[in-house]
């Protein structure tokens, strides 16, 4: 791990933003790999503890240029497990029944121009290359 571009004015807020943005950039790495396989992802449904942070979700939308929808709960994994158990027990006849009762919470659209997001992503990629080719044996 490394932090690039720090100055004397770098504080807690900037460090927190860098940590959250690194997750968004890694998500873009994954979406790029998926696109190289010929699959287009126009939107993501997200859950988990980090999704309680609206700033992170907007950054994720901006940096991936993807619509982001958070479930009405941050713990959709447990909800999904309950839905699958209900499906197995016959409370739902098919997955489409579950889709009909799924509730969206927050939604985010990219607000950053694509050209800006692409430029930031290229900087991220250069930073990753610089870090992974760094000779740490000295």
Domain assignment present for 88: no
* Number of domains comprising the chain: 1
In this prediction the pTM is 0.83
Domain assignment present for 117: yes
Q: Once rounded to an integer, what is the mean pLDDT over residues 35-40?
A: 96
HSE (side-chain half, CA atoms, 13 Å) at 57? 23
Domain assignment present for 87: no
Domain assignment present for 60: yes
Domain assignment present for 94: no
pLDDT digits (tens, 9 = 90+) for 85-96: 988 999 888 888
Domain assignment present for 84: no
Domain assignment present for 29: yes
CA 8 to chain CA mean position, Å:
29
Domain assignment present for 51: yes
In angstroms, rounded to a whole number, what is the distance separating the alpha carbons of residues 66 and 107? 11
Residue 28 structural domain: 12-74+104-128
């Amino acid at each position: 791990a490394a932090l690039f571009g720090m100055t004397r004015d770098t504080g807690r807020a900037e460090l927190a933003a860098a940590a959250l943005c690194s997750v968004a950039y890694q998500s873009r790495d994954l979406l790029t790999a998926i696109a190289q396989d010929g699959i287009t992802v126009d939107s993501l449904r997200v859950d988990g503890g980090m999704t309680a942070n609206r700033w992170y979700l907007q950054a994720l939308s901006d940096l991936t240029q993807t619509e982001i929808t958070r479930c009405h709960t941050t713990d959709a994994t447990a909800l999904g497990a309950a839905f699958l158990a209900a499906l197995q027990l016959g409370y739902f006849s098919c997955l489409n029944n579950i889709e009909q009762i799924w509730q969206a919470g927050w939604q985010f659209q990219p607000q950053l121009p694509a050209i800006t997001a692409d430029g930031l992503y290229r900087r991220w990629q250069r930073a990753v290359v610089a870090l992974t080719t760094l000779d740490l044996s000295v």
